Chain A
Amino acid sequence: MLLIGLEALGASITRTLDRLGLAARFSWGVVSVAGICLVRFSLLVREMYFSGVKSLAIISVSGLFVGMVLAVQGYEVLQRFGSAESLGSLVALSLVRELGPVVSALLFAGRASSAVTAEIGLMRATEQLAAMDMMAVNPLARIVAPRFMAAVVSLPLLAVIFSSAGVLGAYLVGVQLIGIDDGAFWSQMQASVDFRVDVLNGLIKSVVFGVAVGLISVFEGYHAAPTAEGVSSATTRTVVTSSLSVLVLDFVLTVSMFRGLS
């Protein structure tokens, strides 16, 4: 009984290590051919359309509503301390530092990465990737790299758009509906949000999330079992793994970026 348990443990560790090694080698392969996107720019543009432009609606609407909710809840707490004017800095800091990069990465994983995984997985299942290999076209460069780079380029842009929409939503609710002073709202915000510390660090975060989400989606698609079931489970794995790694990476990045700040 004990022996069987130990055997299962060993097998699962070997499998995990095997997959990690495969992922590392695959990632290196993708990153090393990612430069092709600069030469064949139209490939990147096409993928950016499907992952970036088509995510614009969900990202901007979610941002708007997240900002509005933050304004309502933040006002509720802040007015107890008589500092409702700080609402601007509360909303802007939470959006720029955390919610913008993280929530847009989560939405991106659900909206765009799952589609990329399903697409590449289906290409694998219908042997389109094998056919490309036969024609001496490197599928990593032709199919995988543009999709990966599209995530890396699109996600920071989407995160900034999310934060801007959120600030506008907070402005609508805080200033137009609740009636906080317009000037105080913006000036408190400007006094507390630092471009280098807050905005640029948020941008760096979303680039890292873009790399993680992009790599996970193409890896899961490329190594999906070539069956209908395999593609569906690969898509699920993409969303689950991306979301978890975004949240874990966010913690690591936040600790390293903002620890020194008082």
Chain B
Amino acid sequence: MNRSKFDLAVGVFVALGMLALGFMALRVGNLASFDGSEGYRLEARFDNIGGLKSRAPVKSAGVVVGRVESIKLDNTTYEAVVSLRVKPEYRFSNDTIASILTSGLLGEQYLSLDVGGDPSYLSDGARIVKTQSAFVLEKLIGQFLFNKAAESSGTSK
């Protein structure tokens, strides 16, 4: 085997490796999809975010329109401040409601945007005023048990 054959074989090998890396990045990984660096920022405050994590999807009518960028706790109001990035082609009205929902029964949590009827749109850096906190199963069960107890003590009298 002479030298140019070595060159050819190694060239094919390296090209194959690069192709595999491209496959990893575009087909297996999420480099091609929306990575959260473009688009405009919105902010929403919640009493409780449950299990929402940064990079969680932001959906409207089930369609992914952006990603959660960061989650912080406001030290004065003790609310969770969630900042999200929304793709530039989607616009939402000023009275949009942001709520934290779960996909499936045990799935990951995502942020849902439900559009209202206001004719003006949220701009970059705006704050979504109407929010609905995450659904915390333990609290709901606690409330249910409490109601049940109150009910049974009411009927026994």
A and B associate: yes
The answer to whether A262 touches B28, judged by C-beta atoms less than 8 angstroms apart, is: no
The answer to whether B3 touches A42, judged by C-beta atoms less than 8 angstroms apart, is: yes
Smallest CB gap from B25: residue in A: A195
Interchain CB contact (< 8 A) of B20 among A53, A160, A262: A160
B-side interface size class? 20 to 34
Asked whether any CB of chain B lies closer than 8 Å to the CB of A49, the reply is yes
Interchain CB contact (< 8 A) of A158 among B7, B17, B23, B24: B17
Neighbouring B residues of A26 by C-beta, 8 Å: none
- Between B17, B18, B28, the greatest number of chain A beta carbons within 10 A of the residue's beta carbon is seen for B28
The answer to whether A190 touches B53, judged by C-beta atoms less than 8 angstroms apart, is: no
What are the interface flags for B8-26 relative to A under an 8 Å C-beta threshold, 1 for contact and 0 otherwise?
Answer: 0110111011101101110
Asked whether any CB of chain A lies closer than 8 Å to the CB of B33, the reply is yes
Secondary structure at the A interface, as helix, strand, loop or mixed, is helix
Neighbouring B residues of A48 by C-beta, 8 Å: 10, 13
The answer to whether B27 touches A161, judged by C-beta atoms less than 8 angstroms apart, is: no
- Given A191-B30, A193-B30, A199-B29, answer yes or no on A163-B10 (Cβ-Cβ < 8 Å): no
- Given A160-B24, A190-B29, A190-B30, answer yes or no on A46-B14 (Cβ-Cβ < 8 Å): no
Neighbouring A residues of B53 by C-beta, 8 Å: 262
Smallest CB gap from A95: residue in B: B28
Cα(A194)–Cα(B54), bound, Å: 13
The answer to whether B29 touches A194, judged by C-beta atoms less than 8 angstroms apart, is: yes
Asked whether any CB of chain B lies closer than 8 Å to the CB of A224, the reply is no
Neighbouring A residues of B27 by C-beta, 8 Å: 167, 186, 190
Interchain CB contact (< 8 A) of B6 among A49, A154, A198: A49
Cα(A195)–Cα(B35), bound, Å: 10
Asked whether any CB of chain A lies closer than 8 Å to the CB of B129, the reply is no
Cα(A202)–Cα(B57), bound, Å: 24
The answer to whether B10 touches A45, judged by C-beta atoms less than 8 angstroms apart, is: yes
- Per the CB 8 Å criterion, the residue count for chain A at the interface is 30
Cα(A199)–Cα(B26), bound, Å: 11
Residues in A205-262 with C-beta less than 8 Å from chain B = 262
Asked whether any CB of chain B lies closer than 8 Å to the CB of A164, the reply is yes
Cα(A164)–Cα(B16), bound, Å: 10
Cα(A189)–Cα(B17), bound, Å: 20
The answer to whether B17 touches A45, judged by C-beta atoms less than 8 angstroms apart, is: no
Closest Cβ of chain A to B68, distance in Å, is 13
Neighbouring B residues of A186 by C-beta, 8 Å: 27
Interchain CB contact (< 8 A) of B31 among A46, A53, A156, A195: A195
Give 5 nearest A-B pairs by CB, closest first. A157-B17, A164-B20, A195-B29, A195-B31, A160-B20
Contacts A45-B6, A163-B28 known; list 18 others, CB within 8 Å: A53-B12, A56-B16, A96-B24, A154-B13, A157-B18, A160-B20, A160-B21, A161-B20, A163-B24, A164-B23, A167-B23, A190-B27, A193-B29, A194-B30, A195-B29, A199-B24, A203-B21, A262-B53
User: Which residues of A are interface residues toward B (Cβ below 8 A)?
Assistant: 42, 45-46, 48-49, 52-53, 56, 92, 96, 154, 156-158, 160-161, 163-164, 167, 186, 189-191, 193-195, 198-199, 203, 262
